[in-house]
């Protein structure tokens, strides 16, 4: 639901602040690991290759901090063209899915190592997406 939708309920200011802080920390840790990372910006139509961090500020169960992998533009274009033709078995579609799956697993491992509670999202609308549920300093 768009933020302007009358049925959309935004999380409380405390939850919003905590999610934004968590998203910024996720970005920092992924970049420390050498992974290009960017916060999702709804005003920018193109997503750069690398980790894309979404801070869903909804008050519902779907809200939270999520990370998905964006493959390079040429692979995304090839997969998109095949999907437009409804060719779900095209090599580019399969490869794009394999890349997304591998990078999801890698990012879960990297984030867990840095002290995050990170899992692969169970939301079928977010395939190959990391859900970051919290963080605790591993040095404590």
Residue 126 lies in a domain: yes
**Residue 140 pLDDT:** 63
Rounded distance, CA 96 to CA 91, Å? Answer: 8
Residue 7 lies in a domain: no
Rounded distance, CA 121 to CA 38, Å? Answer: 19
Residue 16 pLDDT exceeds 60: yes
* 38, two tokens: 């960017």
In eight-state DSSP terms, residue 3 is T
Are 104 and 118 a contacting pair, CB within 8 Å?
no
**Residue 108 pLDDT:** 99
Is 0.85 topped by the overall pTM? Answer: yes
Are 132 and 111 a contacting pair, CB within 8 Å?
yes
* 27, two tokens: 């970005």
Instruction: Name which residue leads in pLDDT, 112 or 4.
Output: 112
**Residue 67 pLDDT:** 98
What is the span of the domain harbouring residue 59? 13-135
pLDDT tens-place string over residues 75-95? 999 999 999 999 999 999 999
Sequence length of the chain is 140
Helix segments in the chain, DSSP class H: 13-32, 73-84, 91-113
Residue 5 lies in a domain: no
Strands 116-120 and 50-56: unpaired
Residue 85 lies in a domain: yes
Task: Provide the phi-psi class of 118: left if phi over 0, else alpha when psi is between -120 and 50, else beta.
Answer: beta
Structural domains of the chain, count: 1
């Amino acid at each position: 639901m768009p933020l302007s939708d009358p049925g959309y309920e935004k999380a409380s200011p405390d939850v919003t602040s905590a999610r934004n802080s968590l998203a910024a920390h996720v970005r920092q840790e992924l970049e420390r690991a050498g992974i290009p990372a960017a916060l999702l910006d709804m005003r920018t139509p193109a997503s750069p290759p690398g980790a894309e961090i979404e801070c869903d500020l909804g008050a519902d169960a779907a809200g939270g901090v999520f990370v998905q992998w964006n493959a390079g533009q040429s692979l995304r274009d090839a997969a998109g063209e095949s999907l437009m033709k409804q060719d779900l078995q095209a090599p580019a579609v399969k490869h794009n899915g394999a890349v997304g799956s591998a990078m999801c697993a890698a990012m879960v491992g990297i984030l867990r190592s840095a002290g995050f509670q990170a899992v692969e999202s169970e939301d079928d609308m977010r395939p190959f997406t990391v859900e970051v549920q919290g963080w605790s300093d591993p040095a404590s």
